[in-house]
A and B are shown apart, each in its own frame.
Chain A
Amino acid sequence: MTTTTAPDGRVGHQVGRSLHRLEAREKVSGRAEYTHLMALPGMLHAKIFRSTVAHGHIKSIDVSGAREVPGVYAVYTSEDVLKVIPDPYYGPAFHDQPILAVGKVHYVGEPVAVVLAADPHVAEYAAAQIVAEYEELPAVFDEVEAAQNTTLVHEELRPAGTFADLKHLKGRRGTNIALDFRLRRGDVDKAFASAAQVFEHTFRTQKVLHLALEPYASIADFRDDGVTIYSAAQGPSFVRTEIARLLGWPENRVRIKVPYLGGGYGGKLYIKMEALATAMSMLARRPVKIALTMEEQFYTITKHPATLCIKSGIDKEGRITARKCEVWWNGGAYADIGPRVTQKSGFTASGPYDIDNVAIDSYALYTNLTPAGALRGFGIPQLVWAYESHTDMIARALKRDPLEFRKQNLLREGRPQATGTILKDAAIEKVLDRIADRLNWKQPFDRGTGTVRRGRGLAIALKAVISPTTSVAIVNISGDGSTTLYCGTVDMGQGSDTAMAQIVGEVLDMPAESVRIVPRDTDVTPYDMGTLGSRSLFHMGHAVRLAAEEARAKVTALRRELGEPEGGNAPLAELFLKKYGMQAGNIVGTGTYKPDYIPPDASGLTTNATPFWMVAGSGVEIEVDTETGHVRITRLINVADVGKPINPKIVETQLSGAALMQLGFSMFEKMQIDGGQITNASLADYKIPGMHDVPLVMENETVDTVQQNGPFGAKGVGELATFGVSPAIANAIDDAVGVRLTELPLTPEAVFRALRANANQPLGCE
């Protein structure tokens, strides 16, 4: 890391410390709590019976065989759910997902019935005795085909009403399009007509999943006066609001408790198992735990596959004068957060380039597949895959250096981005230059010989953070001066608890290690929109800062009240003692943060699209074995603009982890789907990166910048290093062997087929 680190432990200098994660000891000793491992007295285990067809009317569900299994407590279908929750549909953007399938199933793996038993093995065995009959309906799996609306997934759209820009879709029939985001800047058609050259390419991404090693898990304990839900959830506040809505209750009767998460990556956002667990607990009047298996995660939520068409007009000088992007997002059977992905990523679909004429059409599509949601990047990695491949292809066609071509067209500080929002605190050029430096881009490069050819590639990306969102925090100083932070940001491995403690420590002049972070519990921890989209450090970071500052102001006032000298440093405990005559009392500071935001107009334009820009890129050096198509990544460089890091070491591990995760999505991960059936739903058949997939050399760096409106100059990190990895590798493959892959993943087979096609010796079909 290039960032300087303040000496560890120096009080008052907590920001910038590479402090170990506060929960490190618990995690290495196996004592950290996870929902999947928890149990309540009297708890029943739920096992789910799932649809075997992609689209169909449910003709019958025979649960008699399951009910007869000794030890079964109950078997429930949607008929039972409807008795306790009359409108059992949930979702953050659309209320379209039923707790259990009602009348129809919309994808293979959709929950249809549930068996409850004290012994999970009994529940599992019994669930396998359930028999359902379906009248199959035509199904649609491809996002572009879905946009034709010939096969419909849902009869009518059910927007949630939470988002103003979705309200117009209410009641819309005859369509699979859950949202169409449109951006028009300048006049692309005119610009294409006058362009010296026009390039158009189509790219695709595959269906992949989060695959957290702690699978989805929720435990609901329903009582007449309230429900407590223990859940592996990234957004406890949303879960609370949504469960309260489903039950018709005020929020204060719904309590969500979230321990540590065994990975989230966007999967554990919004409602996953919580509504089903609640309904089951209501029916059984016992605590009910739903803890999924690894296989079941493939039927819960995935990343969006996408088809991306991108067209650019170039003038004689090599400037990009126009860019048109059409993106079809395969959202699966239920919208989840897909419409948000569609809109928010749509803002930057044309990339980090200064282009006067831009047209973007971004469509969220329903299909009969496992629903898709947010996965570490909120759509951005798919877009970058397209625009950074496309940009490289243009540079090569123009016989321009890919770095120089990018630099010529780069969006610079003070210039309007496609939405019209002025670029500020976004070190695009600095990041790109740093990647090029690390790659020794200007130096001669060993291109290999014989059957091993070497190449290098780079990619650079821009993201607008999801906005507007709100965070609230409470800082509580106790009578002995010890300090506790209440905040709803969920630490799922990204180190947020540690960073937040550092912010409290910085403001209150105490070691971050001494700050206690209360485990997330909506009865105690205040509202937060969710741990998503790299928003927490900025939004919650500000809320925590404000709360700590308020507490500090109250301490100053107390000093004054007690006649302490101005600038005196009597310990906090002494102040409380003096004030209350004993170790007693509290000083409580609260902070609420919501950045300004102006929603886009009908043309998709706004002067304030985001409170901060996210910038990152990657560079790679690779070897391609021309006899096998195997690609070996010999060097992977990730550079990001994170502002001023709160904890440089954690920032580095976030960059490293994100890049390696994306490396899996780039090189081999793919859910194989045949007629709507997932044929590789296990870790035996779906490979994720392991030790041997780490590139020989990996370098993660931040550039020296300050986010001026960020807490202590910082901004979000979690997703950044996912952005550039896929196109950088594809660009390097082209550089090495002159073939261009436009579809992920970049498997040896895909490379080899392209090599053979390039040599006019194409291989037959798969």
Chain B
Amino acid sequence: MSGAAKTINLTLNGRSVSAEVKPHHNVVEMLQTQFGLFGARESCGQGLCGCCTVLVDGQPVSGCLSLAVFLDGSDVVTIEHLSERGQLDPVQRAFVECGAFQCGYCTPGFVLMTKALLRQNPDPDDEQIRDYLAGNLCRCAAYPEIVNAVRMAAREAKAGSTG
């Protein structure tokens, strides 16, 4: 609570923004209180469930464990960016098609992790999908459907790039 607020500058979902953050503010709190972005949400508070996932310079990061001050100069992407123009991202479409969620609380985290996975490995096998997403938890246990969705997103991306 103590400590002076610091102004940080970052790129958030493609726009240059600045934020006033205190030393103890984590990324989730900054996104929610200063930018009204609620797609990243804190659940376990220990970086174990993945509900707070955001992409920082392309890398998935637990927003509950990362302090906002460290975002100075970073490029941050949240779930909201993926459908900003009103069109769902292919990964989001695949999650809808495969019914890869129930309550939806963990879904933004899974979608962003899938984005990061497919960027690194456009054609992952099931084992690679499971390994990469093992740090995200879904209490409704939509895991089989999530694996299907990742596969579908990979397939669509491949079809899109070759066709």
B-side contacts of A37, CB under 8 Å: 32, 38, 41
Chain A interface helix/strand/loop/mixed:
loop
Residues 44-58 of chain B, each 1 if its beta carbon lies under 8 Å from chain A, else 0: 111011010000000
Give the CA-CA distance A29 to B134 in the complex, in Å: 21
CB–CB B1/A28 < 8 A: no
Whether the Cβ atoms of A660 and B49 lie closer than 8 Å is no
Which chain A residues numbered 201 to 244 have a C-beta less than 8 Å away from chain B? 210-215
CB proximity of B116 to chain A, nearest CB, Å: 15
- Contact (Cβ within 8 A) A24 B96: yes
Cβ distance B112 to chain A, nearest Cβ, rounded Å: 9
Chain A residues near B134 (CB, 8 Å)?
A: 690-692
Contact flag A20-B39 (CB < 8 Å), given A682-B44, A683-B46: no
The answer on a CB contact under 8 Å between B39 and A30 is: yes
Which of B38, B40, B92, B137 touches A683 (beta carbons < 8 Å)?
Answer: B137
CB pair B43 A29 closer than 8 Å: no
Q: Which residues of B contact A683 (CB under 8 A)?
A: 44, 46, 48-49, 137
- Count B interface residues, CB 8 Å: 51
Closest to A27 in B: B104
* Contact status B139-A265, CB under 8 Å: yes
- Over the window 97-109 of chain B, the binary record of Cβ atoms lying under 8 Å from chain A Cβ atoms (1 yes, 0 no) is 1010111111110
A29-B1 in contact (CB<8A): no
- Taking a contact as CB atoms under 8 Å apart, the answer to whether A29 and B88 are in contact is yes
Q: Mark A604-639, 1 if CB is under 8 A from B, else 0.
A: 000000000000000000000000000000000000
Residues of chain A lying within 8 A (CB to CB) of residue B38: 30, 37
Most buried by B among A24, A37, A495: A24
- The answer to whether A121 and B1 touch across the interface, beta carbons within 8 angstroms, is yes
Bound: A293/B147 CA distance, A: 29
Shortest C-beta distance, B124 to chain A (Å), equals 13
Contact B103 A262 (CB under 8 A): yes
**Interface contact B140-A31, CB-CB below 8 Å:** no
Q: Tell me the chain B residues, 2-55 only, with Cβ under 8 Å from chain A.
A: 24, 32, 37-41, 43-46, 48-49, 51
Contact B83 A682 (CB under 8 A): no
Could you mark each residue 61-86 of chain B with 1 if its beta carbon is under 8 Å from any beta carbon of chain A, else 0? 00000000000000000111011000
Judge whether A713 is part of the interface by a CB distance below 8 angstroms: no
Q: Is the CB of B139 within 8 A of A661?
A: yes
Task: Contact check, B51 vs A28: say whether CB atoms are below 8 A apart.
Answer: no
Instruction: Give CA–CA (A140, B132) in the complex, Å.
Output: 44
Q: Does A679 contact B (CB under 8 A)?
A: no
Q: Which residues of B contact A21 (CB under 8 A)?
A: 99, 101
A32 and B104 contacting across the interface, CB-CB below 8 Å: yes
Which of A378-386, A554-562, A570-578, A648-656 sits within the interface? Answer: A648-656
Q: Are A689 and B105 in contact (CB under 8 A)?
A: no
Contact status A684-B88, CB under 8 Å: no
CA A331 to CA B150, docked complex, whole Å: 42
* Residues in B whose Cβ lies below 8 Å from that of A650: 99
Question: How distant is B28 from chain A, measured CB to nearest CB, in Å?
Answer: 10
Within 8 A of B (CB), among A119-136: 119, 121-122, 125
Q: Is the CB of B99 within 8 A of A649?
A: yes
Q: Of residues 104 to 136 in B, which have CB atoms within 8 Å of A's CB atoms?
A: 104-108, 111, 130-131, 133-134, 136
* Residues on A with beta carbons closer than 8 Å to the beta carbon of B133: 691
Instruction: Point out the residues of chain B lying under 8 angstroms from A213, CB to CB.
Output: 43-44, 49, 51, 103, 105-106, 137-139
- Judge whether A34 is part of the interface by a CB distance below 8 angstroms: yes
Residues of chain B with a CB closer than 8 A to A36's CB: 41
Chain A residues, Cβ within 8 Å of B147: 691
Complex formed: what's the CA distance from A34 to B92 in Å? 19
Number of A residues whose C-beta is below 8 Å from B? 56
Q: In the complex, what residue of chain B is closest to A26 when comparing beta carbons? A: B104
Q: Which residue of B lies closest to A649 (CB)?
A: B99
Q: Which of B137, B139, B142 contacts A653 (CB 8 A)?
A: B142
B143 touches A691 (CB 8 A): yes
Query: Which residues from chain B contact A215 at a C-beta distance below 8 Å?
Result: 43
A25-B96, A29-B88, A30-B39 given as contacts; is B141 within 8 A of A689 (CB)? Answer: yes
* Alpha-carbon separation in the docked complex, A121 to B140 (Å): 30
Q: Cβ of B1 and Cβ of A122 under 8 Å apart? A: yes
Measured between beta carbons, the chain A residues less than 8 angstroms from B1 are 71, 119, 121-122, 125
Contact B96 A493 (CB under 8 A): no
Chain A, residue nearest B1 (CB): A121
Hey, which chain B residues are within 8 Å of A27, CB to CB? 101, 104, 107
| A436 on interface, CB distance cutoff 8 Å | no
Q: How far is the CB of B133 from chain A (nearest CB, A)?
A: 5
Q: In the complex, A36 Cα to B131 Cα: how many Å? A: 29
Of chain A, the residue at the smallest CB distance from B112 is: A30
CA distance A266 to B92 in the complex (A): 29
Cα–Cα distance between A692 and B145 once the two chains are bound (Å):
14
> Which residues of chain A from 161 to 190 have any CB-CB distance to chain B below 8 Å in the complex?
none
Choose among A125, A265, A293, A649 the residue that contacts B45 (Cβ–Cβ < 8 A). A293
Known: A30-B38, A692-B130. A20 touches B49 (CB 8 A): no
Q: How far in angstroms is the closest Cβ of chain A from B127? A: 10
Is A263 on the interface with B (CB-CB < 8 A)? yes
> Is A595 part of the contact surface with B, judged by Cβ < 8 Å?
no
Q: Give the distance in Å from the alpha carbon of A653 to the alpha carbon of B138 in the complex.
A: 13
Interface residue? A356 (CB, 8 A): no
> A263 contacts which chain B residues (CB < 8 A)?
102-103, 105, 139-140
On chain A, the residues within 8 Å of B111 by CB distance are 28
B83 partner residues in chain A, CB cutoff 8 A:
28-29
Q: Is A429 an interface residue (CB 8 A)?
A: no
Please, how many angstroms separate the alpha-carbon atoms of A492 and B101 in the complex? 11
Cβ of A688 within 8 Å of any chain B Cβ, yes or no, is yes
User: Does A212 lie within 8 Å of B103, measured CB to CB?
Assistant: yes
With known contacts A20-B96, A20-B97, A25-B88, A294–B44 Cβ distance under 8 A: yes
Chain A residues within an 8 Å CB radius of B103: 212-214, 260-264, 492-493
B43–A294 contact, CB under 8 A? yes
| Interface presence of A517 (CB below 8 A) | no
Q: Evaluate contact between B39 and A29: CB separation under 8 angstroms.
A: yes
A23 in contact (CB, < 8 A) = yes
Cβ contacts under 8 Å, A262 to chain B: 41, 43, 103-105
Residues on B with beta carbons closer than 8 Å to the beta carbon of A29: 39, 79-80, 82-83, 88, 92, 108
The CA of A256 and the CA of B117, in the complex, are separated in Å by 41
Q: A587 at the A/B interface (Cβ < 8 Å)?
A: no
B14 to chain A, nearest CB (A): 16
What is the bound-complex CA distance between A30 and B133, given in angstroms?
A: 18
Bound complex: CA A689 to CA B147 (Å): 15
Contacting pair B99 A30 (CB below 8 A)? no
Specify which chain A residues have a CB less than 8 angstroms from the CB of B146 in the assembled complex: 691
Q: Which residue of B lies closest to A71 (CB)?
A: B1
Q: A710 near B: Cβ within 8 Å? A: no
Identify the interface centre among B78, B108, B130, B140: most chain A CB within 10 Å of its CB: B140
Max chain A Cβ within 10 angstroms of own Cβ: one of B95, B141, B144: B141
Interface membership of A694, Cβ < 8 A? yes
Interface string of A2-30 (1 = CB under 8 A from B): 00000000000000000011011111111
The answer to whether A28 touches B145 (Cβ under 8 A) is no
Q: In the assembled complex, how far is the CB of residue A42 from the closest CB belonging to chain B, in whole angstroms?
A: 15
* Contact status of A694 and B39, CB under 8 A, knowing A261-B103, A683-B44: no
Distance between B136 CB and nearest chain A CB, rounded to angstroms: 8
A511 contacts partner chain B, Cβ-Cβ < 8 Å: no
Interface pairs A-B: 10 shortest CB-CB: A30-B39, A262-B105, A27-B104, A493-B102, A493-B103, A660-B141, A30-B79, A683-B44, A30-B108, A28-B92
- Residue contacts A-B, CB under 8 angstroms, 25 given: A25-B88, A28-B83, A28-B104, A28-B111, A29-B79, A34-B41, A37-B32, A37-B41, A71-B1, A212-B139, A213-B43, A213-B51, A213-B105, A261-B103, A262-B105, A493-B103, A495-B102, A653-B102, A656-B142, A660-B141, A661-B141, A691-B131, A691-B143, A692-B130, A694-B143
**Known contacts A24-B95, A28-B101, A690-B143; can you find 16 more A-B pairs with CB under 8 A?**
A20-B99, A24-B99, A27-B104, A28-B111, A29-B82, A30-B39, A37-B38, A213-B51, A213-B106, A214-B105, A293-B45, A492-B103, A494-B102, A683-B48, A691-B133, A691-B134
